[in-house]
Structure 1
Amino acid sequence: MEGIHHRMVDVNGITMHVAEKGQGPVILFLHGFPELWYTWRHQILSLSSLGYRTVAPDLRGYGDTEAPTSITSYSCMHIVGDLIALVDSLGVDQVFLVAHDWGAIIGWYLCLFRPDRVKAFVCLSVPFMPRKPMKPVESMRLNFGDDYYICRFQEPGKIEAEIARYGTSNMLRKIISNRKPGPPRMPKDNAFNIKPDTPISLPSWFSEEDLSYCTNKFNQKGFTGALNYYRAFDLNWELTAAWSGTQVKVPVKFIVGNLDSVYTTPGMKEYVESGGFKADVPMLDEVVVMEGVGHFINQERADEINSHILEFIKKF
């Protein structure tokens, strides 16, 4: 990671860790769960060499960024507030946005609340999810059952205890290597289905060194901040009532793997392909479905994702 500059920035009442490299138009990268700025290492190195200033924060509650204790401090309003303050600190009016997983969810909120600050959005894995009449966690429980992972994440301390039981390294290893399609479920007796006597092999694109970096950071920080994003799902629903039915008016390119557990969750593929997604995001320029690719698409197919990002943002 030679040449990547790390610094701390005061944003929205917290201290945020930012990794950056390069000069030129800003590309802001937002990571997901359970990840860090580090998930964008390949994109930072590649795109910074092509005339862009690449900026990847640890989001609130992750890595070396501050982690407030209350669940209510992880609302979409707080996180987008952090990002607007970060963009202001960079001295630019607009950024190119690239985001994955929870970063993508936050990215959609950023585009919804402050489209004036985003030139274009390359979204990985999670499409826009318009606000529905029913609270999201209740809806997920109804559709996918109590063992659905987001439902299992709701009770404070419960999943944290499971992670402590099996170890951060084993938990990360299991999630990174998982390629099971469909809605992720967590049985109550063993949430991550970790068998101590069965070694979990890492995929070729994620090394033991990568695992060690992420494990150390999560061992220092813990998982509560990261899990509080899921625990604020219903709060976000309450806070965004005024945006019901609002379209996202930002140019978007959406990229997903056909083996991604989000894309293969019932209803998601149909929404993306039937015209519903395009109706909600009228400036959706392109949908790319990559064959044989799982959830962690920016790491698994780094070179292709770098090319897709560059191809799209060069239009603006």
Structure 2
Amino acid sequence: MTGFGPQDTGMTTDFPEPTRISVNGVELEVFEAGRQNAGNPIVLCHGWPEHAFSWRHQVPALAAAGYHVIVPNQRGYGNSSRPAEVTDYDIEHLSGDLVALLDHYGYEDATFVGHDWGAFVVWGLALLHPNRVNGVVALSVPYQERGEIPWIDFMEAVLGPDFYFVHFNRQPGVADAVFEEDTFRFLRNLYRKNVPPAEPQPGNSLINIARAETPLGEPVMNDSELAVFVSAFESTGFTGGINWYRNLDRDWHLLAEVDPIVRQPALMIYGDRDTVARAEGLTEHVPNVQVISLDCGHWIQQEKPRETTEAILKWLANRAAA
């Protein structure tokens, strides 16, 4: 899968053709719009199990608003490199890719937007390379406070061995294989909205979703949009993306000596129905943050594309006017 225009997806939204860019020892598949707006960059970072295409609704509007929009498939995804070593997916490597991407374009800094794992990476980037980030927009995943014990150990103690973060680490390869048994069924079942509340079931919740015969709720995207994701993951498998989870304790150690305060202006967008926990003390670590909530689940920019785009554009305009 190389490019996604109307002829490929049946959509009216044209998604840019990609280029492959060598950065930080890997090659990233990068989609761009608004090159005529050079000097005003904004970088959109997807989550798991996602793809640059998850920003398809935001790209045209941001380009029209005067931004050079840069949308990488991060390492492990799409036609970007998928290194074999698990440790090649830690926060130093992932943030280093984004720094090298700025270097490629000759930018000192940029505004970074991240959803899900992409938000975690952008928060980490702001800590590790604060001079390269002039603003942060995070969707779903807030700043994660670095507690006294490593994150996976903490999750295992509080949420148990079946919690998917823990399972990915303690039973490497098991979930990957289940997801790949039927990539279409897994992604069809996962990308849902308006899912009715249900009692938690035993086992890894994502494996349960992958094996469910009937999806719950309503689809987040149409069949042709879903086909882009299915085709990408049928090609790559899921291990590259899952390796991000398998570095979470390593990330905890790597961030030990870093100033934990994000000093850049930030926008935090929550989904009211998202299962990801909100950060109670967000302003303690992100003092210059604006928080908004949208009536949606986890796939915020795809469930509420217009509202998400408007929120980002309004925040950007207010920053520019300040």
TM-score, with length taken from structure 2: 0.88
- Tell me what 1:258 maps to: 272
Q: Is 1:295 aligned with 2:298?
A: yes
The structural deviation recorded for 1:198 is 3.0
CA distance in 1, matches of 2:82, 2:187: 20
The structural deviation recorded for 1:190 is 8.1
Is the contact between residue 21 and residue 29 of structure 2 (CA under 8 Å) also seen in structure 1? yes
| The one of 164, 185, 195 aligned to 1:170 | 185
Which amino acid counterpart does residue 255 of structure 2 have in structure 1?
T
- Tell me what 1:308 maps to: 311
Structure 2 unaligned regions, length at least 5: 6-13
Which amino acid counterpart does residue 301 of structure 1 have in structure 2?
K
CA distance in 1, matches of 2:62, 2:108: 20
- Tell me what 2:98 maps to: 83
SS in 2 for 1:256: strand
| Superposition map of 1:46-195 within 5 A | 46-154=61-169, 155-165=171-181, 167-177=182-192, 179=195, 187=203, 191-194=207-210
Cα 1:221/1:46, change in 2 over 3 Å:
same
Q: Is 1:215 aligned with 2:230?
A: yes
Q: Is 1:227 aligned with 2:239?
A: no
The structural deviation recorded for 1:45 is 1.6
List per-residue Cα deviations over 1:161-220 (Å, max 9, x = no partner).
Answer: 21133x0111111111164679987725982345565356752x4011111111111111
Which amino acid counterpart does residue 5 of structure 1 have in structure 2?
E
CA distance in 2, matches of 1:105, 1:183: 28
List per-residue Cα deviations over 1:271-303 (Å, max 9, x = no partner).
Answer: 33xxx210111111x110223x10000011111
Is the contact between residue 17 and residue 64 of structure 1 (CA under 8 Å) also seen in structure 2? yes
SS in 1 for 2:138: strand
SS in 1 for 2:113: strand
SS in 2 for 1:247: coil
The structural deviation recorded for 1:75 is 0.6
Q: Is 1:20 aligned with 2:32?
A: yes
TM-score, with length taken from structure 1: 0.90
Is the contact between residue 95 and residue 124 of structure 2 (CA under 8 Å) also seen in structure 1? yes
CA distance in 2, matches of 1:307, 1:259: 20
| Superposition map of 1:36-47 within 5 A | 36-47=51-62
Cα 1:21/1:140, change in 2 over 3 Å:
same
CA distance in 2, matches of 1:48, 1:215: 27
Is the contact between residue 37 and residue 58 of structure 1 (CA under 8 Å) also seen in structure 2? yes
- Tell me what 1:248 maps to: 262
CA distance in 1, matches of 2:55, 2:157: 35
Cα 1:39/1:143, change in 2 over 3 Å:
same
Which amino acid counterpart does residue 247 of structure 1 have in structure 2?
I
CA distance in 2, matches of 1:70, 1:183: 37
Aligned residues: 302
Is the contact between residue 28 and residue 54 of structure 1 (CA under 8 Å) also seen in structure 2? yes
Moved >6 Å (runs of 4+): 180-186
Cα 1:184/1:261, change in 2 over 3 Å:
farther
Is the contact between residue 196 and residue 216 of structure 2 (CA under 8 Å) also seen in structure 1? no
Which amino acid counterpart does residue 187 of structure 1 have in structure 2?
G
> Percent same amino acid among aligned pairs?
33
- Shifted more, 38-47 versus 114-123: the winner is 114-123
CA distance in 1, matches of 2:205, 2:69: 42
